[in-house]
Amino acid sequence: MENKGCQDLWLTISLAGGWLLNQALKALYTRERPDLWGSLVVPDGYSFPSGNAMISAAFFGVIALLLLRSGKAGNRIWAAVLLLIILLIGVSRLYLGVHYASDIVGGFLAGAVIAELCAWGAVGRHRRY
């Protein structure tokens, strides 16, 4: 893996990029939130895509990818834990009744693209992994 400063930069980019892309997509789609049952929380803003799902996939996804690409066997377990956390964040948005399932999937997909791009940047374009 490259130096820590470079990785920190790409983690920051994943957070900022996830937030910015989420805001742009919400403004583009303007999908109202579900009214399926009494929500435990009262969210503001539009529903698609789920910001929590997108940003967690982008941020924790970068960390998981870097762990997997480090080549250390013990890091696979930590990467799996991070992927489980991402999944649980998405499920929690459904449980709270603030998103449709498609909002979560859309957030995960967009976040995964950001994570892959940032992980690619963090390890350097010249290296093959």
For a pLDDT cut of 70, what percent of the chain falls above it?
88
Q: What is the pTM of this model?
A: 0.83
Q: Which of 65, 114, 110, 55 is nearest to 86 (CA)?
A: 55
The rounded distance, in Å, linking the Cα atoms of 25 and 107 is 10
The per-residue DSSP string of 14-42 comes to HHHHHHHHHHHHHHHH-PPPP-SS--SS-
Token pair listed for 56: 């967690």
pLDDT band (50, 70, 90) for residue 47: confident
Task: Scan for tokens 């583009």, then name that residue.
Answer: 28
In the chain, where the domains are located: 4-31+46-123
